Amino acid sequence: MTIWPFLLEAVLISLSGVMAPGPITTVVVGKGSESPHAGALVAVGHGIVEFPLMLAVLYGAGRFFGIPAVKAGIAIAGGAFMVYMGVDMVRALARFTNAQPLAADRSPLAAGIFLSLGNPYFLVWWGTVGAALILRAVAFGMLGFLAFALAHWLCDFCWDYFLSATAYRGGKFLGKRFQQVLLGACGAFLIFFGARFIFDGISAWPA
């Protein structure tokens, strides 16, 4: 088997996770109402976490993310950060005027970093599905691993950029009211995701 069929399979598997709605998708759409490039910055922040994580999984750290206390702690901390970001988005509506851009205080780059660090499902994915793909990638040598890592991250980058550009175009076409509704909805969804993460973390905490 050559590397190309494997990379195609890896891209399709990666896209199934990348395109699933979640906290990062919500932030990309919300911040996309402010800038069409927000998704690219979120993806860069995500990559700052993801590339070292891939190396860690390559060298055996994937099992660490399966420890119940680790998963629960990450879920609680990540959920709290998501609630904070969601509240920040909703509060941004009160500061919104026709003379001000629609924005929450947290930068897209920082959001990409912290939402990745605080998402236990992202970390567990790399400890399971991602780990299996990495093992197959290294069968083609270190270049195979690097090609897989780049292909996977480009899935994030292209999808997030597409989402933010689409949200921005929609905001420009439909006006300020659409931007307000979009930001408010994204803030509410982020609070929901955060609350769910906190609940799951508390429920999964070892007795």
Dump pLDDT digits (tens) for 82-99.
788 788 878 776 665 444
Over residues 155-168, the mean pLDDT reads 93
Supply the pTM of this predicted model: 0.78
Per the CB < 8 A criterion, the answer to whether 182 and 171 are in contact is yes
The answer for residues whose C-beta is within 8 angstroms of residue 25's C-beta and 6 or more apart is 163
- Domain positions in the chain: 25-95+104-204
pLDDT exceeds 90 at position 160: yes
User: How far is residue 145 from each of residues 7, 10, 51, 142, 165, measured CA to CA in Å?
Assistant: 10, 11, 11, 5, 30
For 33-53, how does the pLDDT look when each residue is reduced to its tens digit (9 = 90+)?
888 999 999 999 999 999 999
